[in-house]
Structure 1
Amino acid sequence: MAIKVGDPAPDFTIPDQHGRPTTLSEVNSPTLIVFFPAAFTPVCQSELAALREADLRGTTVLAISCDSPYALRAFAESEGLPFALLSDFWPHGDVARAYGAFHADRGIAGRLSVLVDGAGVVRARWESPAGQAREVSEYLGAIAVLERA
């Protein structure tokens, strides 16, 4: 089932690209969760590069794929990504499933993003079809609305 605006964000603990556990409920700021299909693919590279360049005004970015932490570390280093890339590798796709982003037929996460406020509630949601990047400007607009709330 897909997560909706107003739902509590499912909590999770999964490793980052360095193998360190990251728990959503321990992040002390608004959080942009960005599910992406795979490291080293053109659309994912351009999307995450756009996030790297954006001024997200104190919002934490957690980018999640079903790739292994080893692949994500190489990807983060190659692309100069300053935010956490989280591995939903094992159990395979559990976090993506909890958010309604997992494509079981392909074994990957789809292009789903959610903005979670400091209380753990989903305040915005975006989804794009395969091969189509999400717009960073939409994230920035939702972050600005959250700041004013």
Structure 2
Amino acid sequence: MVAVADRAPVLELPDTHGTPVRVGGVRTRPQLVVFLPFAFSRVCGGELRDLVAEPLVGADVVAVTCDPVFALRAWGEQEGVSVPLLSDFWPHGRAARAFGVLDDASGAPQRATFLLDDDGVVAWSVRSPAGVARSVADYRTAVAALTG
């Protein structure tokens, strides 16, 4: 897994309309990269709803799954999301593998989050066991610590 102080991989992934979105690299603001195992699942849906209900200030948020673009578009519309949903469908799991969080047995990313600073370096990360949601409050604390 990519660790704190490592430079994060720089990738482009399509959003729900097929538009490429860059993950990693030098940016004007920090970026929170949230890997979600499966669209339409109970825990992932709850995490996504929490991100929408409690928007983060000071960082750009992207959510990444290995689901195809069209499934993510339907899921995003169903959930009314305001954060970009990015598809890591093809080449399958390329981003999750680059971050070291692809579960080869399920073909889905592990439940992991990476906060990247302006230079694309991992400033903070968290991984939760399967079925255990991450806390938006923890994201807020990490972003606040980074942005001061």
Aligned to 2:105: 105
Output the CA distance in 2 between the equivalents of 1:143 and 1:70. Answer: 31
Aligned to 2:43: 43
TM-score, structure 2 normalization: 0.96
Output the CA distance in 1 between the equivalents of 2:34 and 2:95. Answer: 12
Q: 2:120 is matched by which residue type in structure 1? A: G
Gaps of 5+ in 2: none
Aligned to 2:71: 71
Deviations 1:59-89 (A, max 9, x none): 1111000000000000001001001000000
Percent identity, please: 44
Output the CA distance in 2 between the equivalents of 1:14 and 1:134. Answer: 23
Deviations 1:71-129 (A, max 9, x none): 00000010010010000000000100011110011111110000001111100000001
Gaps of 5+ in 1: none
Q: 1:16 is matched by which residue type in structure 2? A: D
8 Å Cα contact 2:58-2:143 kept in structure 1 = no
Output the CA distance in 2 between the equivalents of 1:26 and 1:89. Answer: 24
Aligned to 1:145: 145
Measure how far apart 1:26 and its partner are.
6.8
Q: 1:28 is matched by which residue type in structure 2? A: T
Q: 2:40 is matched by which residue type in structure 1? A: F
Aligned to 1:28: 28
Higher mean C-alpha deviation, range 85-94 or range 49-58: 49-58
Q: 1:122 is matched by which residue type in structure 2? A: V
Aligned-partner SS, 1:52: helix
Higher mean C-alpha deviation, range 77-86 or range 53-62: 53-62
Aligned to 1:62: 62
TM-score, structure 1 normalization: 0.95
Aligned-partner SS, 1:4: coil
4+ long deviations beyond 4 Å: none
When the two structures are aligned, how many residues end up with a matched partner? 147
Aligned to 1:130: 130
Output the CA distance in 2 between the equivalents of 1:27 and 1:42. Answer: 32
